[in-house]
Amino acid sequence: MSSDSTSDGTAADTAGPERNRATRSPVSRARRVAGRAPAPAKAPATQTLEVLDPPAALHEEPRSRAGRNLPAAIGVGLGLGGLIIATLFIWRPAFAMVAGLAVLYGCYELSKALANGGIRITLLPLLVGSAAMLVAAWERGPSGLVLGALITVLGIVVWRIGDGAEGYSRDVGASALVVLYLPLLAGFAVLLAHPHDGAGRVIAFVATVVCSDTGGYAAGVLFGKHPLAPIISKGKTWEGFAGSVFACSGAGVLFFVLTFHQEWWKGMLFGLAIVVTATLGDLGESMMKRDIGIKDMGSLLPGHGGIMDRLDSLLPCAAVAYLILSGFAPV
């Protein structure tokens, strides 16, 4: 009897857990599962790839604090400066040819940039007229340059008729602006190079603009804290502008005293006029790029962007330099 009792008890004990598993409700199972500690979440695959793939950063271009590829920018700048000096001292008409090539490519580059904003530049008459304007500036002086600009704008107005009325005023207005902005202003650089001392005039103008860019860049990187025009360009600061003023004033004084044999104060005024004009020209192009929605006008020049990203300050300064040198250091 005792053996039977033992056998029954053992069977009951064995069958009990099975009955409990069979009769356990889904709700109780869910509660037991919910009560367990959650398993540690796995890291996203993207985090693992970022940690395990550092060589991707090795392919990025070396950039300075101002966001520029500084070695490439210096190399391109020196190359362009050497080309300008060579053309001026070997055969001055070659400088006008180099300026013409830069203007023609700048017109093409600007037309592509404006196309992002839905503006169609009348390119063919613009290119033909730009080349003719620079030739007229070299051969006929300021009157030839102005007459060439008027004829070019007239050609654009007539040529654009063939594309229909849609967007006519917008496209003609933008094309006329390009005529004034590129070949007309570049024509003053050609006028600077034409006299017998043209090499010195062009070098004084270009070098002072370069001092504005270099002085502003160095002072901005080292000391820049207060934005000059944050709505237009976040990279320009008042500290950088002060560096440009200091560098341009010094360059202007040296060129006027040593090259043109004029009073020092004339050189200082020349430098101040150049730094203000160069800054406004740079900000003007930045506003245009912000309106279009692009960072650079092109990618032809490593470390600089496009041709227009280098001509933005040189173009208006050419006109100012021609006017001041004509008054303070006449031929």
Over the chain, what is the mean pLDDT?
Answer: 83
Half-sphere exposure of residue 283: CA atoms within 13 angstroms, side-chain side = 17
pLDDT band at 9 (very low <50, low <70, confident <90, very high): very low
pLDDT at 307 over 80: yes
- The gap from C-alpha 206 to its chain's centroid, in whole angstroms, comes to 19
pLDDT digits (tens, 9 = 90+) for 232-245: 888 899 999 999 99
CA gap 38, 57 in Å, rounded: 37
Q: Which pLDDT score, from 0 to 100, does residue 214 have?
A: 92
CA gap 23, 74 in Å, rounded: 82
Q: Where are the beta strands (DSSP E) in 201-326?
A: 227-229, 233-237
Mean pLDDT of 88-115: 94
pLDDT at 128 over 90: yes
Per DSSP, the residues of 164-186 read -STTHHHHHHHHHHHHIIIIIHH
pLDDT digits (tens, 9 = 90+) for 213-265: 999 999 999 999 999 998 888 889 999 999 999 999 999 999 999 999 999 99
232 burial type by CB count under 10 A (0-12 exposed, 13-18 middle, 19+ buried): middle
What predicted TM-score, i.e. pTM, was given to this entire model? 0.77
Mean pLDDT of 85-94: 94
Per DSSP, the residues of 84-122 read HHHHHHH-HHHHHHHHHHHHHHHHHHHHHHHHTTT----
What is the CA angle 197-183-305, rounded to 5? 95
Structure tokens at 138: 């070299």
